[in-house]
Amino acid sequence: MTEIAESSSLENTRRRQNGRKRAWLIPVALLALFLLTAFATRLVRKTTLDARIAAADKLVEQPIQGGVFRYPLLLPIGTLDPANAIFTVDVMLVQQLYDGLIAFDEHLNIVPALAKFWEISPDGKTYTFELRDDARFHNGRRVTPEDCVFSFERLLSKGLNEHNYSYFSRIEGAADFHEGRTRDVKGLEALDGNRFRITFVTPFVPALSVLSMYSSKILPKEELLEQGAAFFEAPVGTGAFQFSRWIEPSEDPGIPSIDGVWQGIRLEANSQYFDGRPHLDAVVLRAIWNSNEYEGEALPLHDVADCLQTNEVEHYADWIPLEAERFLALRYLYFPNHVAPYDDSKVRLAINYALDKRSFLDADRVTEGIPSATGVVPPGIPGFIPKESHFEQNLDKARMLLAEAGYPEGKGLPPLELPVLPDSLYVRDPGSVARDSCLVACLSKVGVQVRLLKTDPFINFERPEYKDRAVVRVNTWYADFPDPDNFLRPLFHSDGPLNKFGYSNPKVDQLLDQVWSETSYTKRNKLYHHIEEIILEDSPIIPTDYGRLRYLLRPNVRGFTLTPLGSPYIQMKNIWLTQEGPANEVEL
């Protein structure tokens, strides 16, 4: 799951600019601070939190039914289709509206959802699930094994699920179905006794994790076939919350629309939910900005929202800060690996050694003090082994590598390009200015020049004119499930959906394909460690850190927890509101 390509100061400032022009939910002076961390970050004053938790424990509070929880969206809603959801806002909505056969709990344990139990064949290829008798869609229809077959067939259809297709391609018959050679998938079977069977071509160790991720939701076959694409305008799922309505101008005059999608939605509690009715009556999720045409009163965000995702925990001092103890993410710098001379791993490795990651992170208060990345796979992933950073700053080694590549002291090396906004906007973000200045200064010490590329805030660097230019970008990748494969394959396989930098190593591809069928936990981890070592030596990216995730909660919010998979996996069914605080029917 991704927030797709930040561009250092460009992307951070882009979001702030967008908010300054349109947002009515937050004071102008603070908008930049909140939007600066729209891509998920986390940390909190633990002593303060512990003290408040201790005080709350003494009250022995019991959940209260009712109320509307208001969640401000920092990024736009794009789709309610699990097969097309890749951005965090869409995944969050998918998680509320639908269920899979199984799911992750807040500790990343795999637990029953629509399936009450499952069996795995001795050869590790076949998984048989028995559905719950009380699993029903929001329209009251019972979930059937045929719905399961249909839902997974959708994930194997061309034009859908492109980012995650590789994980489902291991299903027997998937390739023939995907290419249109067969009408059915051999490895998907609806059985009697309310059972569903899925068979893989080889043992597939991450199968249960893949079946727990957001793509693997069960949809109603009859209703979706009848309505087609219109189904997702008012979808029917099985989740703890059901679609109520889009927030339109008749209800909210300032509501913006992007690509025909209103940027506000109301979800109602599913009173027949198999796991029990949520405590809340409803959840309203609304963009924090207004339409350009809106000329009405601007309301501060703290008056119309019940939580804030932000690093600026010093603001709204009476709100409660919260952090996730673990966060499975990777933030990194990259530039095209196919653009000469940056297609030479020695040149890329030299740049990696030239950058002082500690100074780079500390230059911006948002990342100040957080641990720098020591590799690609973050702590918290099963099999992770703590290690020293491969690439602490070493200017002598950087100069040696450049000389070996034919560019002594950087002579003859074309400059990298770093996107920034025009001065009038760029200088308003001192953290990004300082971080970019650190990058430029570090690389100049070994003769690598960085040219600032002043550009439009909404530039698309996938356009053809940028294809062969050495433009430095920043991106953050968030885990879809807790497995090293979910970091190594999407980013570094030649066909990886997040391999936007053109990295290709046949050995890495071969090992990634090989490890899929490895059933020994020890051998599997050794293979992944070996793959990561090869990648780090090739240096296709520069890992900087593993991200943060911080929230502020209104004092009357209870049951709000963060998981290592980030904000999309917040379990809103567990949230409840005390009676203190403002009237909660004031909606976005």
Q: In this structure, what token pair is assigned to residue 424?
A: 């009038």
pLDDT over threshold 80, residue 440 = yes
> Looking at residue 55, what is its pLDDT?
52
Angle among Cα 269, 274, 280 to the nearest 5 degrees reads 25
Q: Looking at residue 131, what DSSP letter applies?
A: E
Closest listed residue to residue 39, CA positions, set 407, 332, 339: 332
pLDDT tens digit sequence for 402-418: 999 999 999 999 999 99
Tell the residue number behind the tokens 């793509």, with chain if given. Answer: 215
Q: In this structure, what token pair is assigned to residue 134?
A: 């009380």
In the structure, what pLDDT confidence band is assigned to residue 423 with cuts at 50, 70 and 90? low
pLDDT over threshold 50, residue 197 = yes
Averaged pLDDT for residues 420-433: 68
pLDDT over threshold 80, residue 492 = yes
In the structure, what pLDDT confidence band is assigned to residue 427 with cuts at 50, 70 and 90? low
pLDDT tens digit sequence for 375-388: 999 998 988 877 77
* Residues of the chain above pLDDT 70, percent: 85
Angle among Cα 271, 274, 278 to the nearest 5 degrees reads 45
> Looking at residue 582, what is its pLDDT?
53
Closest listed residue to residue 171, CA positions, set 151, 183, 156, 190: 156
Q: Alpha-carbon torsion 540, 544, 545, 551, what sign?
A: negative
Least confident of 243-247, 431-435, 476-480: 431-435
> Looking at residue 143, what is its pLDDT?
98
In the structure, what pLDDT confidence band is assigned to residue 315 with cuts at 50, 70 and 90? low
Averaged pLDDT for residues 208-230: 97
Delineate the domains of the chain, giving CATH numbers in brackets.
Answer: 41-94+239-325+548-577 (3.40.190.10), 99-224 (3.90.76.10), 329-545 (3.10.105.10)
Q: Looking at residue 408, what DSSP letter applies?
A: G
In the structure, what pLDDT confidence band is assigned to residue 2 with cuts at 50, 70 and 90? low
- Which residues have C-beta within 8 Å of that of residue 219, sequence separation ≥ 6? 82, 98, 147, 150, 151, 154, 237
> Looking at residue 54, what is its pLDDT?
52
pLDDT tens digit sequence for 495-544: 998 898 999 999 999 999 999 889 898 999 999 999 999 999 999 999 99
pLDDT tens digit sequence for 144-159: 999 999 999 999 999 9
Higher per-residue confidence, 4 vs 528: 528
pLDDT over threshold 70, residue 24 = no
CB 394 within 8 A of CB 339: no
pLDDT over threshold 90, residue 286 = yes
pLDDT over threshold 70, residue 188 = yes
pLDDT over threshold 60, residue 584 = no
Averaged pLDDT for residues 316-328: 86
pLDDT over threshold 60, residue 562 = yes
Helix residue ranges per DSSP H, 405-520: 423-426, 430-444, 485-492, 506-515
The whole-angstrom separation of Cα 557 and Cα 575 is 7
CA atoms within 13 A on the CB side of 532: 23
For the chain, the distance separating the N- and C-terminal CA atoms, rounded to the nearest angstrom, is: 26
> Looking at residue 10, what is its pLDDT?
40
State the average pLDDT for the chain. 86
> Looking at residue 457, what is its pLDDT?
63
> Looking at residue 376, what is its pLDDT?
94
pLDDT over threshold 70, residue 586 = no
pLDDT over threshold 60, residue 266 = yes
pLDDT over threshold 70, residue 42 = no
Averaged pLDDT for residues 469-486: 92
Helix, coil or strand: residue 487: helix
Q: What are the φ/ψ torsions at residue 142 (nearest 5 degrees)?
A: -75, 140
Helix, coil or strand: residue 10: helix
> Looking at residue 23, what is its pLDDT?
39
DSSP string, 201-238: SS--TTHHHHTTSTT-B---HHHHHHHGGGGGGS----
> Looking at residue 160, what is its pLDDT?
93
> Looking at residue 105, what is its pLDDT?
92
> Looking at residue 382, what is its pLDDT?
84
> Looking at residue 301, what is its pLDDT?
76
In the structure, what pLDDT confidence band is assigned to residue 20 with cuts at 50, 70 and 90? very low
Angle among Cα 524, 526, 529 to the nearest 5 degrees reads 110
* Residues of the chain above pLDDT 90, percent: 69
> Looking at residue 60, what is its pLDDT?
67
pLDDT over threshold 90, residue 420 = no
pLDDT tens digit sequence for 513-525: 999 889 898 999 9
pLDDT over threshold 50, residue 8 = no
CB 353 within 8 A of CB 427: no
Higher per-residue confidence, 472 vs 311: 472
* Global confidence as pTM: 0.85
> Looking at residue 300, what is its pLDDT?
77
